[in-house]
Amino acid sequence: NMTNETLKAELGNASWKLLHTVLARYPVIPSTDQQSHLSNFITYFAKVYPCGDCARHFQQLLVKYPPQISTRSNAAIWGCHIHNLVNERLNKTIYNCNHIIEDYQCGCGEEEQPDQQ
């Protein structure tokens, strides 16, 4: 029904916003620990995502397109591409990934990033 579709869309919006912002603010050159934190975050994000069909499908995408965690740029572009694959499946507009890092600011400034060790 309409209400459920609205709730699902709001959850999707908020979730993509968090994921893209995390990726766009990920360290430019991450340490090994930081890389493992991002890798784990994405794995568990996919596992706990509360829409079951979405989670199942997203986990399949992760197998086919493993998260790129080596640099901020690679991570942000990977996230943009995987969201586009979901867009494609849902017949939504494909997003232009050229300015993905500028598109997702956190309002916190580089110097205020948490210590991600």
If one asks whether residue 73 binds ligand FAD (CB under 6 A), the answer comes out as no
In the complex with ligand FAD, the residue whose CB is nearer, 31 or 98, is 98
From the list 6, 16, 24, 50, which residue makes contact with ligand FAD (rule: CB under 6 A)? 16
**The tokens of 96 are what?**
């232009």
Site residues for ligand FAD, 31-70, by CB under 6 A, read 49, 53-54, 57-58
Distances from the Cα of 82 to the Cα of 4, 36, 59, 86, angstroms: 24, 19, 11, 7
Q: Does 26 bind ligand FAD (CB under 6 A)?
A: no
Q: What is the number of the residue whose Cβ is closest to ligand FAD?
A: 12
Q: Compute the C-alpha angle 32/34/38, nearest 5°.
A: 115
CB 19 within 8 A of CB 104: no
Give the binding range for ligand FAD (CB under 6 A) out of 36-44, 67-75, 85-93, 108-116. Answer: 85-93
How is residue 57 annotated by DSSP?
H
CA distance 18 to 50: 15
106 contacts 25 by C-beta, under 8 angstroms: yes
When binding is defined by CB under 6 A, the residue of 30, 72, 83, 101 that contacts ligand FAD is 83
Where does this chain bind ligand FAD (CB under 6 A)? 8-9, 12-13, 15-16, 20, 49, 53-54, 57-58, 80, 83-84, 86-87, 90, 92, 95
